[in-house]
Amino acid sequence: MLKNRRCSLNSFFEEYTLDAVLFTDLRNIRYLCGFSGSEGALLVSRDSAWFLCDSRYTAQAAEEVTGAEILECAPIRIDTIVALAHEHQLERIGFEAAHTTVSAFRKLSEKLPGVELVELGANLDEIRICKDSVEIDRLADVATLSSLALASILSEIKPGVREIDIALALELEMRRRGADGKAFDFIVASGVRGAMPHGRASDKIIQSGELVTIDFGALKDGYHSDETVTVACGEPESRAREIHSIVRTAHDLAICAVRPGIGCKELDEVARSYIREKGYGDYFGHGLGHGIGLEVHEMPTLSPRSVTELEEGMVVTIEPGIYLPGFGGVRIEDTVVVTGDGCRVLTSADKQLLVL
């Protein structure tokens, strides 16, 4: 796995004239060598790689790590890193500035007085921005699992049920279907709480006629899903139907516009301009979406400030919304993979206004 993905590091070696890159962020480590544990480091040179872990993880590393020599060392790995730097004459080592503590940086600097430590910014995470076929298959698998889990518990959404009960039922169903866990704390926001874009499930009791927004996702094999539906618990009022229709159309227009080469800012504007045209522009405050993979939020960002263009293999969410304080809200979200001529939708929950 590391050999196939190491080419994504070539630009960093060239741009920063590096001899090696030290990875401590576990998501990048998993991406590059397959290790799924909770402690470790990966040092990658131009032609070699070393995975460092203590005795708690050597057996696991032996099963999972690909393309790197496994070195058992003490929990404090600095001495091993220093030894490798001297042995292989690594004079310029890049490190993940966004994932390295000041304390760790100082210790490395003290132990490596003749080595230049080169700060690499958050753009290093861009090595994961385009997914390969293995990743896309895993993302499709977890998205399907999550969508089917929601379909199985829709009948439990009814007046008198607490939001938290819906969240618990959904998590349990995901587990039954093989998920390793939930991707994040589920949002279940009913009635006026629907105006809270991040209204995590609460003790509020769902009332008849209320809209219920459910933002949910599963975690499996390191990969996340993310999807949102807004349903009605009994017949909703006409304004609720109106805003659901507007958000659904904005969502559909954006998905139809996804293609390689379109700017993330431009794609955001496709949905935003429609919502603005319908008079609700002030009530769509967040970006249209985000990348997803080994993290539930990763590059690229789809927002009015984005400078990124979509590329084939990127996997992103499309999630417009309208949030009206004192009334409620609607968000509709799907996850899509950018293809050569458009996109493929990975999530599959029904996005029509279901009246339960």
Same domain? For 21 and 144 the reply is: no
Same domain? For 91 and 159 the reply is: no
Same domain? For 163 and 312 the reply is: yes
pLDDT means over runs of 10, the chain (356 residues): 76 93 95 94 94 95 95 84 94 94 91 93 89 97 98 97 98 98 98 96 97 98 98 96 98 98 98 98 98 97 97 98 98 98 97 96
Same domain? For 147 and 11 the reply is: no
Closest among 296, 286, 322, 139 to 213, alpha carbons compared? 322
Sign of the torsion angle spanned by Cα atoms 305, 310, 313, 319: positive
Same domain? For 200 and 336 the reply is: yes
Residue 5: the pLDDT is 84
Residue 156: the pLDDT is 96
Number of structural domains, the chain? 2
Same domain? For 104 and 168 the reply is: no
The residue to which tokens 């090696």 are assigned = 20
Same domain? For 150 and 236 the reply is: yes
Same domain? For 286 and 313 the reply is: yes
Closest among 280, 208, 201 to 242, alpha carbons compared? 280
Q: Is residue 23 part of a domain?
A: yes
Q: Is residue 356 part of a domain?
A: no
Closest among 283, 293, 289 to 270, alpha carbons compared? 289
| CB-based contact 38:54 (threshold 8 Å) | no
CA 31 to CA 25: how far, in whole Å? 10
Same domain? For 113 and 202 the reply is: no
Residue 2: the pLDDT is 62
Q: Whole domain around residue 186: which residue ranges?
A: 133-345
Residue ending a domain, among 68, 93, 128, is: 128
Q: Is residue 354 part of a domain?
A: no
Same domain? For 15 and 77 the reply is: yes
Q: Is residue 351 part of a domain?
A: no
Same domain? For 273 and 173 the reply is: yes
Residue ending a domain, among 78, 99, 128, is: 128
Q: Name the phi and psi angles at 88, rounded to 5.
A: -105, 10
CATH number for the domain spanning 289: value is 3.90.230.10
Q: Is residue 355 part of a domain?
A: no
Q: Strand 321-324 and strand 116-120: pairing?
A: unpaired
Q: Is residue 62 part of a domain?
A: yes
Same domain? For 265 and 222 the reply is: yes
Q: Strand 227-233 and strand 289-291: pairing?
A: unpaired
CA 310 to CA 254: how far, in whole Å? 13
Residue 59: the pLDDT is 97
Residue ending a domain, among 97, 128, 159, is: 128
- Integer-rounded Cα Rg, in Å, for the chain is 23
Q: What single string gives the DSSP state of each residue in 250-318?
A: HHHHHHHH--TT-BHHHHHHHHHHHHHHTT-GGG--S-SEEE-SSSSSEEEEESTT---B--TT-EEEE
